[in-house]
Amino acid sequence: MATLYIVAGETGEYEDMVGWTVVAYLSYRFAKMHARRAQKCADEIFAQHGGSYLYGDPKDKERYNEFDPRMRLDGGARYGVMTLELRDGLPTSETPMRRFRKAR
């Protein structure tokens, strides 16, 4: 088993909050560095342009976040690192398969 470190972003507040995944690494160090760089870029874009902004256009150099091409801004963006266990097969002895319902 391995651990994936997923860089994720979020924007908005309360019921308007939207979250998305950016990229995954096998190294926490690289994931943290990526999150920090995406955050710095998002903060700079928000400071210069403010307001709401959905998705980056690579042609728009002033509002494109190279560390998160799908960035959204609604009052700023926040980035962090989540962990996810990576398995190479289904559990066998831990949980009998008959207890699971059919996936749809």
Q: How much is the pLDDT for 88?
A: 86
Coil, strand or helix at 71? coil
User: What is the per-residue pLDDT across 27-80, written as a single tens digit (0 to 9) for each?
Assistant: 999 999 999 999 999 999 888 887 666 666 667 777 788 899 888 888 889 999
Neighbours of 55 (CB within 10 A): 13
**What range defines the domain where residue 32 resides?**
2-84
Q: Is residue 31, in this structure, part of any structural domain at all?
A: yes
Q: Is residue 102, in this structure, part of any structural domain at all?
A: no
Q: Is residue 18, in this structure, part of any structural domain at all?
A: yes
Task: State pTM to two decimals.
Answer: 0.79
| Overall number of domains in the chain | 1
User: Considering only CA atoms, which of 7, 71, 64, 14 is closest in space to residue 36?
Assistant: 7
Q: How much is the pLDDT for 56?
A: 64
Q: Is residue 29, in this structure, part of any structural domain at all?
A: yes
